[in-house]
């Protein structure tokens, strides 16, 4: 563990960034793969209706995850900073606080969604012919909230300590279980979208239990003994967690709700449009996992560099993060431009779906550009712990620009579904512009330890 910490603060920037982000990337890739398996298996066995239902059900699932992602990412950044400052007592307090906060929120959110899922599905303008499929998938996934939150918080703790390999192993286990059960439940057993959701929840549960076991075995290193009395909110770390985590949650929530708002309009164009949009989101998420990995790894490195007072290291991390993401994004953009029907054909052989997929290519190029430019800037903003700037990004990117551009292009200018697609894609460039100004201003330097 000590060697990992030294590498994060003193090792070669590109090598350390790649070494630390690779397991994060592989974890995210596996997570995307097993989410995509749901759509591929359902699309093949059930058809376009099942594919569209899983797509909308995935939108409901987005409502589940944004709180976990926001506070987990904040906890990871703070743990990295405490490690860089050699304040191990704070690491243990953060572990107890994260468990108490996130597992409590998981129970509350589960109850709320079970009460409100019908209203949410209706608000998304779910087509009548896939409503029941969507309900089955969504409700089943709701019961997996506690496992989603649990896995996210344990992974955040491990990554904050510099261990990104074990979270990858746990998600690999979940992926393998999900693929096997997906094929079994949806294929021979004929459970449709319900079977896909059951496979996902079971995979997540097993992954969380393995992660929790590892954390318990290493309780001495993290400074937390897992005694019931220590699962509480420690005031000394709760304030910085809330200060950094709330803007991150708002950011995720704003993006989530604005995307749901846009998708609610898209869903009115029918089952084929829902299927195309859902497949496009999954394909774009392939680059998204690279972005998320670099953002997370870069944020941890920046947090520890600032904690150790290594100012000159920060711009290097930002610049290397840019080119590392640009390489896979360029390759994927080329494949999308040259073979769009082949890519979409992995999910569906419906001629109408493949025909509409061609019209999505220009939008996909903008999405890939945004995925390339965003992670380095998010790493700087999150790694420096700038909660106010996080909030600004959340409001501009998540709400004002995405909804505003979608309504402008889709409704006011009459571009229809292409306008809603474009509005969503263009808003993704906002974090880059804000982050670039923040980097050039040098204001982040004030957050380094004395």
State percent of the chain over pLDDT 90: 2
The pTM score is: 0.66
Which pLDDT value is given to residue 23?
60
Q: Which residue bears the tokens 């995850």? A: 65
Answer whether residue 209 shows pLDDT above 50: yes
**pLDDT recorded at residue 304:** 75
Using CA atoms, how far apart are residues 345 and 170, in angstroms rounded to an integer?
30
Confidence class for position 6, pLDDT limits 50, 70, 90 = very low
Burial 98-113 (b: 16+ CB within 10 A, else e): bbbbbeebbeebbeeb
Residue 3 predicted with pLDDT over 70: no
Residue 374: closest CA among 358, 396, 359, 407: 396
- CA separation (Å) from 417 to 103, 206, 268, 363, 441? 39, 40, 9, 11, 38
CB atoms within 10 A of CB 234: 18
376 versus 334: the higher-pLDDT residue is 334
Supply the pLDDT for residue 291: 77
Reduce the secondary structure of 199-220 to three states and give it as a string: HHHHHHHHHHHHHHHHHHHCHH
Residue 421 scores a pLDDT above 50: yes
What distance, in Å, lies between the first and last C-alpha atoms of the chain?
24
pLDDT value at residue 391: 75
CB-based contacts of 175, cutoff 8 Å, min separation 6: 30, 31, 33, 34, 203
What pLDDT is recorded for position 14? 58
- Check if the beta carbon of residue 261 is closer than 8 Å to that of residue 255: no
The tokens describing 247, both together, are 């803007």
Q: What band does 92 get if pLDDT is binned at 50, 70 and 90? A: confident
Query: Pick the residue with more confidence: 125 or 296?
Result: 125
Q: Please check the confidence at residue 133 and state whether its pLDDT lies above 80.
A: yes
Tokens coding 183? 């094929």
pLDDT tens digits, one per residue of 360-375: 889 989 988 888 888 8
């Amino acid at each position: 563990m000590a060697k990992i910490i030294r590498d994060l603060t003193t090792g070669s920037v590109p090598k350390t960034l790649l070494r630390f982000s690779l397991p994060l990337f592989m974890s995210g890739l596996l997570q995307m793969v097993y989410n995509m398996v749901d759509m591929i298996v359902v699309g093949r066995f059930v058809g376009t209706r099942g594919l569209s239902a899983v797509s909308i059900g995935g939108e409901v699932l987005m409502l589940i995850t944004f709180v976990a992602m926001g506070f987990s990412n904040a906890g990871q950044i703070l743990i990295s900073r405490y490690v860089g400052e050699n304040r191990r007592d704070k690491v243990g307090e953060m572990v107890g606080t994260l468990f108490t906060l996130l597992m409590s929120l998981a129970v509350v959110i589960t109850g709320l969604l079970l009460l409100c899922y019908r209203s949410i599905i209706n608000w998304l303008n779910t087509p009548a012919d896939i409503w029941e499929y969507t309900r089955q998938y969504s409700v089943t996934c709701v019961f997996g909230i506690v496992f989603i939150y649990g896995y996210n918080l344990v992974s955040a703790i491990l990554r904050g300590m510099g261990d990104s390999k074990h979270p990858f192993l746990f998600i690999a286990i979940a992926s393998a279980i999900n693929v096997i059960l997906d094929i079994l439940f949806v294929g021979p057993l004929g459970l449709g979208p319900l079977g896909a959701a059951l496979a996902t929840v079971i995979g997540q549960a097993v992954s969380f239990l393995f992660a929790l076991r590892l954390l318990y075995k290493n309780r001495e290193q993290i400074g937390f003994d897992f005694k019931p009395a220590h699962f509480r909110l420690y005031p000394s770390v709760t304030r910085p967690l809330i200060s950094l985590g709330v803007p991150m949650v708002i950011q995720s929530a704003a993006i989530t709700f604005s995307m749901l708002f846009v998708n609610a309009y898209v869903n009115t164009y029918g089952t084929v449009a829902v299927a195309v949009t859902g497949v496009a989101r999954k394909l774009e998420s392939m680059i998204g996992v690279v972005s998320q990995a670099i953002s997370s790894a870069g944020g941890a490195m920046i947090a520890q560099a600032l904690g150790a007072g290594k100012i000159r290291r920060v711009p290097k991390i930002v610049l290397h993060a840019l080119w590392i993401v640009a390489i896979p994004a360029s390759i994927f953009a080329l494949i999308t431009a040259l073979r769009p029907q082949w890519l979409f054909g992995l999910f569906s052989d419906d001629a109408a779906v493949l025909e509409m997929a061609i019209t999505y290519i220009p939008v996909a190029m903008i999405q890939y550009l945004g995925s390339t430019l965003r992670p380095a800037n998010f790493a700087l903003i999150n790694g420096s712990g700038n909660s106010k700037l996080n909030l600004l990004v959340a409001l501009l990117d998540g709400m004002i620009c995405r909804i505003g551009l979608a309504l402008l292009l889709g409704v006011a200018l009459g571009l229809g579904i292409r306008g809603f697609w474009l509005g969503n894609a263009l808003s993704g460039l906002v974090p880059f512009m804000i982050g670039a100004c923040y980097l050039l201003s040098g204001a982040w330097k004030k957050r380094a330890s004395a």
